[in-house]
Amino acid sequence: MSGGEPRRDWIGRETYLLVELLSQRLAGELDAACRAQGLTAAQYPVMWVACLHEDEEGIPLGSISDGLVTNASDVSRLVTRLEAAGLLERTRSQADRRVVRVRPTARGRAVFERATDEVKALHRRQFSDLADEELEQLHTLLNQAFWSGVHLDTTEAAS
C-alpha cells in the first residue's frame, strides 16, 4: 500500500487484480479440459444448452444465446463449427419452417458427457482448498460484486 492511499482504494485494486488473474487461470484450465475432449471453452456452453434441452426436435438456434454470456452471431459461428465437427445438427422446425433448430448428434452427446465429467472434476480441483462453507461464501461475494457494478454508467466507471 502506497503512502497516503486510502486502504479501500488499495484493497479494491488488489482485489480486482486477484480476480482478473484468477479468471485468466481458471479460463485457461477450462479451455485445456475442453480441448482434451475436442471442444473449446467457448463451444462447451453451446453444447451444454443443446444437450440439456428437452425437446427431441432440438432448441431453436436463436434461443441458444439467451442463457449464455455471448451474442447470437457468436453462437451461430460456434454452432457452424460444432456442426462441421459432427457434434450438432441443424434441422427446420416441423411447426414453423422458418425456425432452425439445433440438437446434438449421438457423438456430440458423448463428447459433451465426457467433457462435463472433466469440467466437474476440474472445478472440484480448482476449489479443493476451500471448505464448502468458504466456497458458498466466495460464490455469494462474487455474485454480489458482479451485480453491484451493473448500474455503473461509463462516466462513473471512468472517474
pTM over 0.75? The answer is yes
Alpha carbon 57 to chain centroid, angstroms: 24
pLDDT at 153: 59
Report the alpha-carbon distance of residue 68 to residue 136 in Å, rounded. Answer: 22
Q: What is the distance between the alpha carbons of residues 78 and 74, in angstroms, rounded to a whole number? A: 6
Q: Are 34 and 75 in contact (CB under 8 A)?
A: no
Consecutive 10-residue runs of the chain (159 residues): their mean pLDDT? 83 95 96 95 94 88 79 87 97 85 96 97 97 97 86 54
39-42: long-range contacts, CB 8 A cutoff, minimum separation 24:
39/87, 39/111, 39/115, 42/70, 42/74, 42/78
User: What pLDDT does 2 receive?
Assistant: 60
The predicted structure's pLDDT at residue 98: 85
**What is the reported pLDDT for 156?**
52
State residue 28's pLDDT score: 96
**For position 154, what pLDDT does the model report?**
52
pLDDT at 88: 97
**Domains in the chain, start-ordered, CATH in brackets?**
12-147 (1.10.10.10)
Distance separating alpha carbons of residues 104 and 117, to the nearest angstrom: 17
Ordered DSSP codes for 41-97: TTHHHHHHHHHH---TT-EEHHHHGGGSSS-HHHHHHHHHHHHHTTSEEEEE-SS-T
